[in-house]
A and B are shown apart, each in its own frame.
Chain A
Amino acid sequence: MGYNLLIVDDSATTRTIIKKILSLSKIEVGELFEAENGKVAIDLLYSKWIDLVFADINMPEMNGVEMINRMSDDGMLKTIPVVIVSSDGNEARIEELMSKGVKAYLRKPFTPEIIKEIAETILGGEKNEHKI
């Protein structure tokens, strides 16, 4: 059985790119779920088993910071690893997210290699606190 992954980004283009990268990685992918904002993602997290989340910050309705806050307040959701993938470079925001348990922070535009490397490392069980 493969890993279930969730990609949260308001850009369908970015979701497609990340999906393609993950499907070509060494990770055994079960189901790939998509959400266009944090609110849809939270609903999915309550209804599906998810092993890893890739999430943007700047999204309408519920942004990535609000989504992480909701997850960190929930005993079950806070155990799910999250990788932030954003063009936002604000140091305070990055520190805040890392302090809430975000596993890695990738700056857009990203390379396929770094997405694959981080997903493989996290799902391989290693602690990985990247800031790129």
Chain B
Amino acid sequence: MNTKSDDNTILAKVIEQTLAKFALMFGEPAGKEAIIGFQGDGLTAVIRFRNFASGAIYITIPADLCIVLAANAIGTETKNELAAANCHDALKEFTNVAAGHYVSEVFGKKENVEIMPPEIIRLDNNGLMNAVNDAQVLFLVDGNPIMARAVKG
């Protein structure tokens, strides 16, 4: 059985790898102190899973970074209106892919863990800072934070 520390290591790995392959973005692990004081609104994608195991994965990023994520994923410029139009969808899909790999690695490929459709929650700057405090995994991408946590049960 994995420890919480093992699970966090897996969460960090799947987010780093998914970010690189999905959007050619490279995250640098960071401590909470590097993010305190960051200004801007944020978005959280939450994806729940159930059956063999239940829980949820939360990935939070600044709203501006979401446009970069979408632009990189679809191969366009951030100023292209397609990037803004696909922003929420790209964050949902990024979270969906990371969640698929997380549940496979934590619970195994033989267990049936059903992943539910992701949802987006808008955050103001206070909400973004709360996500920093709650994060189990933090990355910086060009000075922008990416925060994640996984909860079971």
Tell me the A residues contacting B by CB distance below 8 Å: 10-14, 16-17, 20, 58, 60, 86-93, 107-109, 111
Contacts and interface: CB of A to CB of B under 8 A. Distances in A.
B73 interface: yes
A17 B74 contact: yes
Nearest to B114: A58
B90 interface: yes
Interface string B50-67: 000000000000000000
Given A11-B92, A87-B96, A91-B109, 16 more contacts: A11-B89, A11-B90, A13-B89, A13-B90, A16-B82, A16-B86, A20-B74, A20-B75, A86-B100, A87-B97, A88-B115, A89-B100, A90-B109, A90-B110, A92-B112, A108-B97
Contacts, number: 64
Interface residues of B, number: 28
A85 to B, nearest CB: 11
Interface string B108-126: 0111110101000000000
A13 B74 contact: yes
A101 to B, nearest CB: 22
B113 A90 contact: yes
30 contacts: A11-B89, A11-B92, A13-B86, A13-B93, A14-B93, A16-B74, A16-B82, A17-B73, A17-B74, A20-B75, A60-B117, A86-B100, A87-B100, A88-B100, A88-B115, A89-B100, A89-B101, A89-B103, A89-B104, A89-B109, A90-B104, A90-B112, A90-B113, A92-B110, A108-B22, A108-B96, A108-B100, A109-B18, A109-B21, A109-B97
Residue among B96, B98, B101, B112 with most chain A CB within 10 A: B96
Contacts of B103: 89
Nearest to B51: A90
